[in-house]
Homo-oligomer: A and B are copies of this chain.
């Protein structure tokens, strides 16, 4: 259960078994069924969440009730609403499971203690956030300047497994296009 989490951490930084035990001690596992919420709009997000297996989506709902997918997180990715975590304010997002999913949760306070006690963890977090920032900025470029087809091809190249695992409608929403358009693009692409 915690093995994949340990493997993940060790692939990025060096910590001792004892240190990992301290981390495991403050971690809890939550199992989500398909469509089950991990976070609902209006709640305050207080965790660091690591996806052990499965796949979740983070999305917001506009005034018309339309869902807009912000991103996905699969096994060995982190998820959550950093804005709410940092500010302590209610989240404007929802997170729910696209597939049956296991998530490892560490409360904000416990996580901060861990980072203070184990500097390697702080380093790892800093590193991940920096990379997330770069990745998000690159995604912004794609959205700002690419056509619908280019955006789809870019996604295929970067995350081919998302294309296979996620229903068309959610991919369309993630790309900021309609399901109809994505369906046509797929026909087009496979010639």
Contacts and interface: CB of A to CB of B under 8 A. Distances in A.
Interface in A128-178: 129-134, 136-141, 143-145, 176
Contacts of A126: 126, 129
B139 A140 contact: yes
A59 to B, nearest CB: 10
Nearest to A60: B141
Contacts of A144: 68, 143, 176
A70 interface: yes
Contacts of A145: 62, 68, 176
A42 to B, nearest CB: 17
A82 interface: yes
Given A62-B145, A136-B137, A140-B139, A130 B82 contact: yes
Nearest to A126: B126
Nearest to A177: B144
A138 B143 CA distance: 13
A86 interface: yes
A19 interface: no
Given A82-B137, A126-B129, A133-B136, 9 more contacts: A60-B141, A68-B145, A70-B137, A82-B130, A129-B130, A136-B136, A136-B137, A143-B143, A145-B176
CB-based closest 4 A-B pairs: A144-B176, A133-B133, A83-B134, A136-B136
